[in-house]
A and B are shown apart, each in its own frame.
Chain A
């Protein structure tokens, strides 16, 4: 049997991390988490996750910057990255694609939609 797919969850809010964990814990995934941009880059390079679900607004390094850095590194240049944005951030979506992300979800996200998006990248 192949190894479980790894998903890296990145958010500086414990509420969001916990919520994402609860939505995904029943899926066939191993869940990792990071609470800052820098930690996200370090964890992504060390753990090579199969997908990254990431907040945009974070202290220090924001989600866009993390995307750019990960795209510049060979091991993570093609890792699927889904950005989590909040309503009213249409400019976020644009900047997100510019910085190299693959998709985005908007809060409040729907569990089914989130799982479907993840499955579209990782398979069921």
Chain B
């Protein structure tokens, strides 16, 4: 019965996560726009949660849900006024329910005390008036047994590792099952043909093989499609984040979402949540000005934060824009000089100055606030995005605002790869970054990690993988350079022993031991059963360009 129970728990958590997220969105706008149908849905959600929590052995969560249900019924009947203070309390109740059930909160918030929330909900429902606006922080250790019911609510539930579940439409699963059947038939036919030597021509065998291969590819495509979910589920929690940030900073911010229906791999949605959270906090903290300042500058006192997603050439693009103050090149220059990143008299164009904000430890904010000064910088955001084979770029205008653009692959697990051989090893480069291949001129074939090649009159920095990976053994007769593109029209090369052509590979994450290996983003199993490392082009190139060879200063 154990594995079954695990399965029920996973389903329960997934369902509770969804129900709570839905309620959270509704509570955000409950003061203004709530028709009876909205309340009916709320009531059903909390009622289901209450019952399920009981079934799964979370009596405290069920008790709290019961109180919320009670309050919702009163709100629906207008026996209790719909106020902002009450909305805040209900949002805190959502946090408390997450805590009690052991669902990770998207935005970590200062200590939620379920017992305290329970008491205030009961008071609000009884009084029919707004609850006293005691902040949760000020009442942090308030577990001194007041009401016995409230005490029971503080039983701790260890937070489990995040459940990885996904809902897949039954019709999609059925089509997969059909295809599995067809593949079985095709394979059976191929086996029968192979068992009768001489009866079928090689062409016939190849045709039969190709048929089953085609079916397999259809299946692969379906499986990848089943992993696609709308990116909106990663955007919606930010309505809550902004509400909390506005309250904390006194800034007025409106959230504008677009492109929520754009579908991406479920893993992408999970993995961009943290980087996006950081960018959103950053925009509110450093970008958007306080209302008085905005007014004085002739802007709408209410700032706007836009999250926008769209498809772009094989990937997706997510923009985080604010209409705040924009980056100040002067301050970035001063800070870069103070950190020794820039010579005392050295000048750089603004575009290049902006890149410094991705340097570890770089922050020009006069004070590190509680919101964004939490030890994580944009450098971490960038490396997170690059770990997803994505890229981040910045566009800013003084006084008008800043846009950070994330480019991400649609799916994380399958890439079109370009295979190269170095010594005995095979490496995979993402095909999308490969531009062309040229011979390495014999004059450049000397040991040393990097060099610069004359490519049709242009200097092309290159990295010799043989040296980079400290490969032993004699170099090949001929070496080639694979030219890859990065950034805005820049090119660089990798010198390799052999070009082995393109292939579709499934990327597997590296084990924990090798996770932080620089320049490698994963591994892939090749057709011949051997393992190949998937190279992380941007990290490798950054190494090459940050520490250029003596002649690579161009």
Residues of A within 8 Å of B48, CB to CB, are 12-13, 57
- The range of chain B's interface size is 20 to 34
B47 and A15 form a contact (CB under 8 A): no
The reply to whether the CB of A22 lies closer than 8 angstroms to some CB of chain B is yes
Q: How many residues of A contact B (CB 8 A)?
A: 17
A87 and B54 form a contact (CB under 8 A): yes
B50 and A15 form a contact (CB under 8 A): no
B66 and A88 form a contact (CB under 8 A): yes
Contacting residue for A19 out of B16, B40, B41, B55, CB 8 A: B55
A86 and B8 form a contact (CB under 8 A): no
- Distance between B2 CB and nearest chain A CB, rounded to angstroms: 12
Indicate with 1 or 0, residue by residue over B41-67, a CB within 8 angstroms of chain A CB atoms. 101100110111011110000100010
Residues of B within 8 Å of A24, CB to CB, are none
A14 to B12: give the CA distance in the assembly, Å: 8
Contacting residue for A18 out of B8, B16, B66, CB 8 A: B8
- Distance between B166 CB and nearest chain A CB, rounded to angstroms: 13
A57 to B44: give the CA distance in the assembly, Å: 6
- Distance between A77 CB and nearest chain B CB, rounded to angstroms: 28
A122 to B300: give the CA distance in the assembly, Å: 70
A100 to B117: give the CA distance in the assembly, Å: 40
Known contacts A22-B4, A57-B44, A86-B47, A108 near B15 by CB under 8 Å: no
Indicate with 1 or 0, residue by residue over A82-118, a CB within 8 angstroms of chain B CB atoms. 0000111000000000000000000111000000000
A15 and B54 form a contact (CB under 8 A): no
Known contacts A57-B44, A59-B44, A107-B55, A18 near B11 by CB under 8 Å: yes
Q: By CB atoms of chain B within 10 A, which of A58, A59, A108, A109 has the most? A: A108
Known contacts A57-B47, A107-B51, A15 near B8 by CB under 8 Å: yes
The reply to whether the CB of B7 lies closer than 8 angstroms to some CB of chain A is yes
B4 and A15 form a contact (CB under 8 A): no
A16 and B55 form a contact (CB under 8 A): yes
Known contacts A19-B8, A86-B50, A14 near B15 by CB under 8 Å: yes
Residue in chain B with minimal CB distance to A25: B4
Residues of A within 8 Å of B16, CB to CB, are 15
Known contacts A13-B48, A57-B44, A86-B47, A107 near B54 by CB under 8 Å: yes
B15 and A86 form a contact (CB under 8 A): no
A86 to B41: give the CA distance in the assembly, Å: 17
Chain B, range 1-15, C-beta contacts under 8 Å to A: 1, 4, 7-8, 11-12, 15
Residues of B within 8 Å of A13, CB to CB, are 15, 48, 51-52
A87 to B54: give the CA distance in the assembly, Å: 9
Q: By CB atoms of chain B within 10 A, which of A15, A57, A87 has the most? A: A15
Residues of B within 8 Å of A88, CB to CB, are 66
Residues of B within 8 Å of A58, CB to CB, are 44
A109 to B55: give the CA distance in the assembly, Å: 7
Residues of A within 8 Å of B40, CB to CB, are 59
Known contacts A57-B48, A107-B51, A15 near B66 by CB under 8 Å: no
Residue in chain A with minimal CB distance to B59: A108
- Distance between B153 CB and nearest chain A CB, rounded to angstroms: 16
Residues of B within 8 Å of A18, CB to CB, are 7-8, 11
A95 to B15: give the CA distance in the assembly, Å: 28
Residues of A within 8 Å of B56, CB to CB, are 15
A16 to B53: give the CA distance in the assembly, Å: 10
A108 and B55 form a contact (CB under 8 A): yes
A108 to B55: give the CA distance in the assembly, Å: 5
A108 and B54 form a contact (CB under 8 A): yes
Chain A, range 1-50, C-beta contacts under 8 Å to B: 12-16, 18-19, 22
B7 and A86 form a contact (CB under 8 A): no
Chain A, range 66-92, C-beta contacts under 8 Å to B: 86-88
- Distance between B9 CB and nearest chain A CB, rounded to angstroms: 9
- Distance between B54 CB and nearest chain A CB, rounded to angstroms: 4
A57 to B4: give the CA distance in the assembly, Å: 26
Residues of A within 8 Å of B52, CB to CB, are 13, 15-16
A12 to B40: give the CA distance in the assembly, Å: 14
Residues of A within 8 Å of B44, CB to CB, are 12, 57-59
Q: List 9 interface pairs A-B (beta carbons < 8 Å), by A numbering.
A: A12-B48, A18-B7, A18-B11, A22-B1, A59-B40, A86-B54, A87-B54, A87-B62, A108-B57
- The chain B residues found within 8 Å of chain A, CB to CB, are 1, 4, 7-8, 11-12, 15-16, 40-41, 43-44, 47-48, 50-52, 54-57, 62, 66
Top 4 closest pairs, chain A to chain B, by CB: A86-B51, A15-B12, A108-B54, A107-B51
- The chain A residues found within 8 Å of chain B, CB to CB, are 12-16, 18-19, 22, 57-59, 86-88, 107-109
Q: A19-B8, A86-B51, A109-B55 are in contact. List 14 more A-B contacts (CB 8 A).
A: A12-B48, A13-B52, A14-B15, A15-B15, A16-B52, A57-B43, A59-B40, A86-B50, A86-B54, A87-B54, A87-B62, A87-B66, A108-B54, A108-B55
